[in-house]
Amino acid sequence: MNDHVLKQEIAKADKAINDRDFETVASCYTEEAVLVVKPGKLVQGREAIKAAHQKISDYFNGSLNVTQGNMVVIEAGDIALVLSKTYIESPEKTDSEFSSERDAIYIYQKSADGTWLCAIDNSYGVTLLESDTQPSA
Amino acid sequence: MNDHVLKQEIAKADKAINDRDFETVASCYTEEAVLVVKPGKLVQGREAIKAAHQKISDYFNGSLNVTQGNMVVIEAGDIALVLSKTYIESPEKTDSEFSSERDAIYIYQKSADGTWLCAIDNSYGVTLLESDTQPSA
């Protein structure tokens, strides 16, 4: 599990988020990818996701430190489901309303050149089922 | 939400499971689909999934009644993530070790002809992160 290519891909994306390198963050997603910004709020497309990540980072006063713990990867051809313990630290933002430990759901899609890109990024996992609002783009 | 095509697809698959119509069940999956039979046990491919559903139905003494409740669908091009409250009743099997109410994760893939097929069927959702065993086919 430690050296699964998707674990490496997610570590790369986390590092880019933590480094505020939003070009690299955007390059980790498919063109039509969807990011769950928060329950009830989705953004779609690389440019929108790039802007959203910048806003999220700003919300955490630039102190965001995202890391992953235990991970389960299920591959089915060119699609993979990743379940991951996601930890969100933000020393400069201690009053966030969102949980700092999440059971995240990431869906990856294998490109024609063999690289994996994130198609759906839902760090809130199944907790969206508990929200009053259905997500919308 | 009520008339989302994926809600209809999942209702069709559930009806086929409940009716023990395993040909129809198998037709709801992609060729390379993966079914999480239970934590730590995966099967891959339509034929294997068909056989697994028959075994699961037998385990519940043919009395399985699968239904879905609240559902969240997130589409990203030809991939969709479905989060769903899944209810599993089995009047003839009241001593199952598995939970009868689950926050399931289904991944659907749109075929070239526009029909949605299930690529990953994980009724155990993020609870796989709590399992001691990593899933394996």
When the pLDDT of each residue in chain B is averaged and rounded to a whole number, the result is 91
More confident residue, B125 or B99: B125
Task: State how far the alpha carbon of A26 is from the alpha carbons of A10, A38, A68, in Å.
Answer: 13, 18, 19
Q: What is the pTM of this model?
A: 0.91
Residue pair A88/B114 in contact (Cβ under 8 Å)? The answer is: no
Pairing of strands A101-110, A116-122: antiparallel
- B136 inside domain: no
For B74, the closest of A34, A75, A81 (CB atoms) is A34
SS (H, E, C) A37-97: EECCEEEECHHHHHHHHHHHHHHCCCCCEEEEEEEEEEEECCEEEEEEEEEEECCCCCCCC
Give B5-63 pLDDT, tens digit per residue: 999 999 999 999 999 999 999 999 999 999 999 999 999 999 999 999 999 999 988 88
Residue B110 scores a pLDDT above 60: yes
**B51-68 confidence digits (pLDDT tens):** 999 999 999 888 899 999
Determine whether the interchain pair A76/B34 forms a contact, defined as Cβ–Cβ distance below 8 Å. yes
Residue A135 lies in a domain: no
- Residue B4 has a pLDDT of 86
Enclosing domain of residue A72 = 5-130
Q: Which long-range contacts (CB under 8 A, 24 or more apart) does B110-114 make?
A: B110/B77, B110/B78, B110/B79, B110/B80, B111/B30
Asked if B62 contacts B74 with a C-beta cutoff of 8 angstroms, the reply is no
Q: Is B80 part of a structural domain of the chain? A: yes
* Cα–chain center distance at A83: 11
Tokens of B20: 């023990």
C-alpha distances in Å from residue A30, one per residue of A46, A53, A57: 7, 15, 21
Radius of gyration from C-alpha coordinates of chain A: 14
Chain B residues touching residue A77 (CB < 8 angstroms) = 30-32, 119
Whole-number mean pLDDT of chain A? 91
Burial of B136 (0-12, 13-18, 19+ CB in 10 A): exposed
**CB atoms near residue B104 (< 10 Å):** 24
For an interface test with A, give the residue of B44, B74, B86, B102 to mutate (most A CBs within 10 A). Answer: B74
pLDDT band at residue B90 under the 50/70/90 scheme: confident
CATH code where residue B32 lies: 3.10.450.50
- Report the gap between the CA of A19 and the closest CA in chain B (Å): 27
Any domain includes B9 = yes
- Residue A48, Cβ neighbours under 10 Å: how many? 18
Identify the band that residue A135 occupies on the pLDDT scale cut at 50, 70 and 90: low
Q: Give how many domains chain B has, as a whole number.
A: 1
**pLDDT attached to residue B93:** 78
Sheet holding A41-44: strands in order across? Answer: A41-44, A29-38, A116-122, A101-110, A79-89, A65-76
Instruction: Name which of B126, B132, B134 to mutate to probe chain A: the one with the most chain A Cβ atoms within 10 A of its Cβ.
Output: B126
Lowest mean pLDDT among A21-30, B33-42, B128-137: B128-137
- % of chain B beyond a pLDDT of 90: 79
Contacts with A20 (C-beta within 8 Å, 6 or more apart), sequence order: A54, A57, A62
Burial class (CB in 10 A: 0-12, 13-18, 19+), A35: buried
Which of B44, B70, B125 lies closest to A76 in CB terms? B44
CB-based contact B29:B45 (threshold 8 Å): no
Quote the pLDDT of residue A97: 72
Which residues touch A52 (CB under 8 Å, ≥6 apart)? A35, A37, A43
More confident residue, A4 or A80: A80
A43 part of a folded domain:
yes
Among B7, B32, B129, B133, which would you mutate to test the A interface (most chain A Cβ atoms within 10 Å of its Cβ)?
Answer: B129
Asked if the model's pLDDT at residue B1 lies above 60, the reply is no
A86 → chain B, closest CA residue: B129
pLDDT at B131 over 50: yes
Helix (H, G, I), strand (E, B) or coil at B3: coil
Q: Is residue B135 part of a domain?
A: no
* B103, part of any domain: yes
Cβ separation A76–B33 shorter than 8 A: yes
**Using the beta-carbon criterion (under 8 Å), do A81 and B30 form an inter-chain contact?**
no
Structural domain includes residue A136: no
User: What does the alpha-carbon distance between residue A6 and residue A12 come to, in Å, rounded to a whole number?
Assistant: 10
